[in-house]
Amino acid sequence: MRDPRQRPDVQAQLIAFGRWLRTVRQFRDLTQEQLGERAGIERAIISRIERGELNPGIAYLWPLADALQVKVRDLFPDDDHPRLPPRE
């Protein structure tokens, strides 16, 4: 069975998710290390997610959203209306 991450559409989605995660992280003025500490996720894992090399899966979505102070749905903006969290 083929690895689903190798399908072009899935890979493109992983890359897009990773880019958006990086955008939100930088918007919050956080380093990967700081986000990792807040979310309880190793910095290397966050780096791989941001590069589209790792599918974050459900186990990572809630800790990332909590650490970024957004709702999980905000990690998945639609193309026409990306959602950036409000600045504090």
Q: What is the pLDDT of residues 11-39, one digit of tens each?
A: 999 999 999 999 999 999 999 999 999 99
What CATH number did the domain enclosing 56 receive? 1.10.260.40
pLDDT at position 21, please? 95
**In 40-60, which positions are buried (b, 16+ CB within 10 angstroms) versus exposed (e)?**
ebeeebbbbbbebebbbeeeb
Report if residue 79 sits inside a domain: no
Report if residue 80 sits inside a domain: no
Report if residue 88 sits inside a domain: no
In the chain, the number of structural domains is 1
Whole-prediction pTM value?
0.81
Report if residue 34 sits inside a domain: yes
Report if residue 87 sits inside a domain: no
* Containing structural domain, residue 26: 4-73
